[in-house]
Amino acid sequence: MGLRHLIIAVVVGVLVFPPPVLAAEIVGSAGPSQGAMARGASLQQGANIFSGDVVEVGPGGQAVVMFGHNAMARFAEQSAVRATREANIVGLELLHGRMSYRTTPEQPVVGTFADAMVRSEKGQEAVVSVAFRNPSLVVIMAERGALAVTAGCQKRTVTVPQGQTAEVSLSNTPLNAGNRPADDNCIGRKPGATWWTTGVVLGGGAALATGLALSATQPKSVITSTCTPTGGTPVSVSTFPCP
């Protein structure tokens, strides 16, 4: 077969048998929801949520997403969450608002915001609430099970026991000798994050965009405190921080 005939055969083969188009991976399916949208359309019960989809919830609405194996998530009104799946792990990136989710050993769910990550401490079942109190303060509550919260350019982790909360401050303030821990070596690095548990909050303006995407310079997350609600029992996220 000559070169001309070979080229024609290849072209015809491509036209007749085009390469398969890989479909986006399904993260989960919508449960009873109202006032919520995904991909520009109203979120209907049973609709698939694909990896990369952003679920937006309007005033007075809510969204429920089921992941299987008893894992699920609920997004509160005026919230936006980006859902992803990598291998068997579901990722929920809180862009603004409030979300609660259940993670199970069979279906791990990991929450993220800015550069921080929230996961079950030992991969066991856990129920988690993550809420923006304002654009620069996020509160995490371990409603069931212990959590591991990771933040900072050194990716350190703090444990949040069941029934306790952690506050995380977001800031774009550059680190310097006056506002960083002595053992933090983030100076001169790509903008990242630091955290400590002394209750010190970095100064500076709000760092999180109010839209669906983070600003070009990702905020630094600073775990500023942990606490136990009065009486040692879980409280509604609307009462954060702890009394």
Q: What is the pLDDT of residue 179?
A: 45
Residue that the structure tokens 């809510």 belong to: 62
Q: Whole-prediction pTM value?
A: 0.70
How far, in Å, CA of 239 to CA of 237, rounded? 5
Query: Is 143 strand, coil or helix?
Result: strand
Query: Model confidence over 70-89: pLDDT tens digits?
Result: 999 999 999 999 999 998 99
Tell me whether residue 216 is exposed, middle or buried, using C-beta atoms within 10 angstroms of its C-beta: 0 to 12, 13 to 18, 19 or more. Answer: exposed
Q: What is the pLDDT of residue 118?
A: 97
Query: Model confidence over 158-196: pLDDT tens digits?
Result: 999 999 999 888 876 544 434 444 334 443 333 333 333
CA angle 225, 210, 45 (to 5 degrees): 95
Percent of the chain with pLDDT over 90: 52
Length of the chain as a residue count: 243
Question: Which of 83-92, 101-110, 122-131, 210-219 bottoms out in mean pLDDT, i.e. has the lowest?
Answer: 210-219
Average pLDDT of every residue of the chain: 75
Q: Are 79 and 43 in contact (CB under 8 A)?
A: no
Residue that the structure tokens 């303060």 belong to: 137
Domain boundaries, the chain: 24-113, 114-234
* Cis peptide bond upstream of 20, omega within 30: no
Q: What is the pLDDT of residue 45?
A: 95
